[in-house]
Structure 1
Amino acid sequence: MAQPDSTQHPGTVLRKRFMVPHGLSAEGLAADLGVPVNRLEDILAGQRSIGAEVALRLGRCFGTSPLYWMNLQSRFDLHVTAQVLGGDIAREVRPRDAAPRQVA
């Protein structure tokens, strides 16, 4: 399976790549995962992040690594943060040389 685009919220990936092919509703998946349906609906709507607990539950449910879900979230968070703060960070942070300097 190709790696999802980092611009997609993990909830979008969950819906398109896992729920639709399995014919799952939010209510059905929430019950399978043992989480409140409103928590899952918020994830699917892109209004909530996938945390460690949900990553563990999704991994168990779909036979994936929990790291798959955590990495989707981290990649998305980095993309969004770079869009919002990347210019400011580029102006504010002075890069260091790659090689450590020797103290004389």
Structure 2
Amino acid sequence: MIKRGIAPVHPGVILKGLYLEPLEITITQAAGQLGIARKTLSQLVNGHMGVSAEMAIRLSKALNTTPQLWMNMQQGYDLWIAEKKSADIKVLPFAMAS
């Protein structure tokens, strides 16, 4: 279970703050190097979309990381968001076979 206190950082924020800005790479330049549309990368770094498996591979190749790093960040972020809404998720437990 993920702690409800501090939200995990969206992977796009990590990408922008730890990679693009220090390397002085613009969104347009990075998108070109990643082989994706500028709008797609802009949506990612602004937290409007998540990291897909394909994007994780692209980022890992460009930044010498692993795809798992990016997927784990996204999964942690998504799960935290879902758990914040868990009280609204109504489920009936399955009955155990006897």
TM-score of the superposition, structure 2-length normalised? 0.82
RMSD: 2.2
1:87 corresponds to: 87
Does 2:26 match 1:20? no
- Are the structure 2 counterparts of residues 93 and 71 from structure 1 closer, same or farther at C-alpha, using a change threshold of 3 Å? farther
Q: In structure 2, do the counterparts of structure 1 residues 93 and 78 end up closer, same or farther at CA, with 3 Å as the change threshold?
A: farther
Equivalent pairs counted in the alignment come to: 92
Q: Which residue of 2 aligns with 1:99?
A: none
| Deviation, structure 1 residue 43 | 0.4
* Aligned amino acid, residue 79 of structure 2: L
Q: Write out the 4+ residue segments of structure 1 that deviate beyond 3 Å after TM superposition.
A: 91-94
Contact 1:33 / 1:57 at 8 angstroms: preserved in 2? yes
| Local SS of the residue matching 1:7 | coil
In structure 1, stretches of 5+ residues that fail to align are 95-102
Contact 1:6 1:75 in 2 (8 A): no
Which has more radius of gyration? 1
Structure 2 stretches lacking a partner, 5+ long: 1-5
Q: Which has the higher contact order (CA 8 A, sep 6+)?
A: 2
Deviation at 1:7, TM superposition (A): 2.2
Shift of 1:45: 1.0
Whole-angstrom distance in 2 between the partners of 1:50 and 1:93:
31
| Aligned partners of 1:6 and 1:72 also within 8 Å | no
CA distance in 2, matches of 1:35, 1:60: 14
Partner residue in 1 for 2:79: 78
**Which residue matches 1:44?**
45
TM-score, structure 1 length as denominator? 0.77
Whether 1:63 aligns to 2:64 is yes
Equivalent residue, structure 2, for 1:33: 34
